[in-house]
Amino acid sequence: MHQSYRYAIAYFLLFGTLLLASGAVLFFSKIGFSYEAVQSYYLGSKALFSTPKSSYGLLEVALPHIGSMGLFIMVTAHFLLFASKERKRQAVKPAIALFVVALLDIFSGFLIVEGWSFFIWVKLAAFALLQLLGFYLLWLLFSAIWQGVAVK
C-alpha cells in the first residue's frame, strides 16, 4: 500500500472514531440507555415535561443519518479492500450486518412512536451493535495500515 493511502485512511479512521464516539455521547446524554429513557424520549413524559416525537421530526433526523451512516459503512468497507485476504474475510459479515443494524437504529424510532413498544429493545440493541461493529471495522482497518498488511 502506498504511503499516501495510509495517511488518507489514518485520517478517515480518526474522523470515523470521532463520529462513533460523539454519536455514543449524544445518545447517552440526550436519550439514555434504558428502556424507560428511550420510551420517554420518543413517547414523551409528563414528569420530564417532554412531548412525544412526531413522524415528521423523526424523518428530519433520519434522512441525514441514512446518508451519513451509509457512506461511513461503504467507505470503511471499501478501504478494507486494501487489506489482506484474512482481514477482508473478517470484515464481510460485520459490514453487511452494520448496514442492517444502522437501518434498524434509524427507523426503530418510527415504530416506537406508532406504538410498537418492542422496538424500544430493538433501538437499544441496534445502537449497541452499531457501535460495536463500527469500532470493530475501524479496528480491522487500523490494524491493516499499522502492520502494513496490504495485498493488492
- Interacting residues of 35 by C-beta distance below 8 A, sequence separation 6+: 120, 121, 124
Q: What is the pTM of this model?
A: 0.86
Dihedral in degrees, nearest 10, Cα atoms 71, 72, 74, 78 = 130
Q: Show me where the domains of the chain are located.
A: 3-146
**pLDDT digits over 17-54, tens only?**
999 999 999 999 999 999 999 999 999 878 778 888 89
Has residue 143 got a pLDDT over 90?
A: no
